[in-house]
Amino acid sequence: MSKFRKKDKGGLPAISTASLPDIVFMLLFFFMVATVMRDSSLMVENQMPNADQVEKLKKDRTIFIFAGKPSSQYKQFGQEPRIQFNDAFITVEDVQSSVSQGIVEMNEELQSKVVIGLKVDKNTNAGLVSDIKQELRKANALKVMYISNNQKVE
């Protein structure tokens, strides 16, 4: 009789799952955008040293240089620590030209803010790092970042 009569009980109404694909797609797009496929495979052992006074790295203005002992599948390159740039081993003398090339390929407004990310294995001799730094000074790329694990130093 009354308009506001309670509806007769019919159990719990089914929850609509129609928006589920939308939610999942949203997540999917996020991860698709956030995913970075590794562009250069590591050819050297690369265990970072520990440090706790670290700053974040801005990836868009960074050129990475790796250094360390050649890893097990690249044994033919010997036991001495080597420098890897992009996908190849380079010698100390090549660092300057490689870095200059890397800078030229970068976005123009970021070229003056370039940071060199040094990913060096912790068992490398510091002499090699100092050689690299000397070359970087010649290439006039003066900002370096020693990439490290952010852990408390014991």
Partner 1 sequence: MAKRAAPEVNAGSMADIAFLLLIFFLVTTTIEKDKGLLRSLPPIDDTEVEPPVIKQKNLFTVNINRNNQLLVEEEEIPITELRQATIDFLDNGGGTNQAGESCDYCKGERSEASSDHPDKAIISMKHDRETTYEKYIEVQNELVAAYNFLREREATRLYSQYYPNAEKVFTAMLEEKEKNQFSKDEVLNERIETIKKLFPMKLSEAEPDKK
Q: Which is nearer to partner 1, 7 or 112 (CB)?
A: 112
Return residues touching partner 1 (CB under 8 A): 17, 20-21, 24-25, 27-28, 31-32, 34-38, 49-57, 59, 62, 115, 117-118, 120-130, 133-134, 136-138, 140, 142-148, 150, 153
Measured between alpha carbons, how far is 85 from 96 in angstroms, rounded to an integer?
Answer: 11
Question: In the complex, what is the shortest distance from the CB of residue 91 to partner 1, in angstroms, rounded to a whole number?
Answer: 17
Q: Which is nearer to partner 1, 57 or 88 (CB)?
A: 57
Tokens of 96: 């300057």
Question: In the complex, what is the shortest distance from the CB of residue 58 to partner 1, in angstroms, rounded to a whole number?
Answer: 9
Sign of CA dihedral 43, 128, 95, 79: negative
Residues in the chain, total: 154
Measured between alpha carbons, how far is 60 from 46 in angstroms, rounded to an integer?
Answer: 22
Question: In the complex, what is the shortest distance from the CB of residue 68 to partner 1, in angstroms, rounded to a whole number?
Answer: 9
Beta-strand pair 115-120/88-90: unpaired
Measured between alpha carbons, how far is 134 from 99 in angstroms, rounded to an integer?
Answer: 12
Backbone φ/ψ region at 78: left (φ over 0), alpha (ψ -120 to 50), beta? left
Q: Which is nearer to partner 1, 103 or 120 (CB)?
A: 120
Q: Which is nearer to partner 1, 1 or 14 (CB)?
A: 14
Question: In the complex, what is the shortest distance from the CB of residue 4 to partner 1, in angstroms, rounded to a whole number?
Answer: 36
Question: In the complex, what is the shortest distance from the CB of residue 113 to partner 1, in angstroms, rounded to a whole number?
Answer: 12
